[in-house]
Amino acid sequence: MTDLAGTDRSANDRCRNLVLVLGDQLSFDSGAFDGFQPSEDRVWMAEVDEESEHVPSHKARIALFLTAMRHFAQEVRARGWPLEYLRLGEHPFPSLAEALADALRNLRPRRLVTVEPGDWRVRQALAAVARNHQTPLEIRPDRCFVGSTEEFARWAAGRRNLVQEHWYRQLRRKTGVLMEGPNPVGGRWNFDAENRASFGPGGPGLVPRPVGFPADRITSEVLGLVARRFEGHPGSLEGSIGRSRAPRRSKRSPTSSETVCPGSAGIKTPCGTASRSSSTADSRRR
Partner 1 sequence: MWDGEPFLFHSRLSAALNLKLLHPMEVVRAAEEAYRSGHAPLPAVEGFIRQILGWREYVRGLYHLWMPDWLSWNALNAHRPLPEFYWTGETEMRCLKATVGQTLRHGYAHHIQRLMVTGLFALLLGVRPIEVHRWFLAIYVDAVEWVELPNTLGMSQFADGGRMATKPYAATGRYIQRMSNHCASCRFRPERATGEDACPFTALYWHFLERNEARLAGNPRMRPALTNLRRLSPDDRAAIRRKAERIAQGPP
Binders of partner 1 among residues 20 to 49 (CB under 8 A) are 23-27, 29-30
From 41-49, 91-99, 146-154, 219-227, span contacting partner 1 (CB under 8 A):
146-154
Question: Measured between alpha carbons, how far is 262 from 93 in angstroms, rounded to an integer?
Answer: 32
CA nearest 16: which of 70, 80, 82?
Answer: 82
List binders of partner 1 among 66-125 (CB under 8 A): 68, 116, 118-121
> Taking a C-beta distance cutoff of 8 angstroms, is the pair 59, 235 a contact?
yes
Contact pick of 4, 5, 55, 78 for partner 1 (by CB under 8 A)? 55
Length of the chain: 286
Question: Measured between alpha carbons, how far is 224 from 228 in angstroms, rounded to an integer?
Answer: 6
> Taking a C-beta distance cutoff of 8 angstroms, is the pair 64, 267 a contact?
yes
Contact pick of 79, 165, 244, 247 for partner 1 (by CB under 8 A)? 165
- Supply the minimum distance, in Å, between the C-beta of residue 110 and partner 1: 26
The sign one gets for the Cα dihedral 122, 21, 113, 145 is negative
CB neighbours of 215 closer than 8 A, spacing ≥ 6? 223, 257, 258, 259, 260
Q: Does 284 bind partner 1 (CB under 8 A)?
A: yes
Q: What is the rounded end-to-end Cα distance, in angstroms, of the chain?
A: 66
Contact pick of 94, 234, 245, 247 for partner 1 (by CB under 8 A)? 234
- Supply the minimum distance, in Å, between the C-beta of residue 72 and partner 1: 9
Q: Which is nearer to partner 1, 108 or 123 (CB)?
A: 123
What single-letter amino acid sits at 92?
Answer: P
- Supply the minimum distance, in Å, between the C-beta of residue 199 and partner 1: 7
Beta bridge partners of 111: 17
From 4-12, 83-91, 129-137, 150-158, span contacting partner 1 (CB under 8 A):
150-158
Q: Which is nearer to partner 1, 89 or 272 (CB)?
A: 272
Count of residues in contact with partner 1, rule CB under 8 A: 87
- Supply the minimum distance, in Å, between the C-beta of residue 35 and partner 1: 19
- Supply the minimum distance, in Å, between the C-beta of residue 152 and partner 1: 3
Q: Does 208 bind partner 1 (CB under 8 A)?
A: yes
> Taking a C-beta distance cutoff of 8 angstroms, is the pair 226, 58 a contact?
no
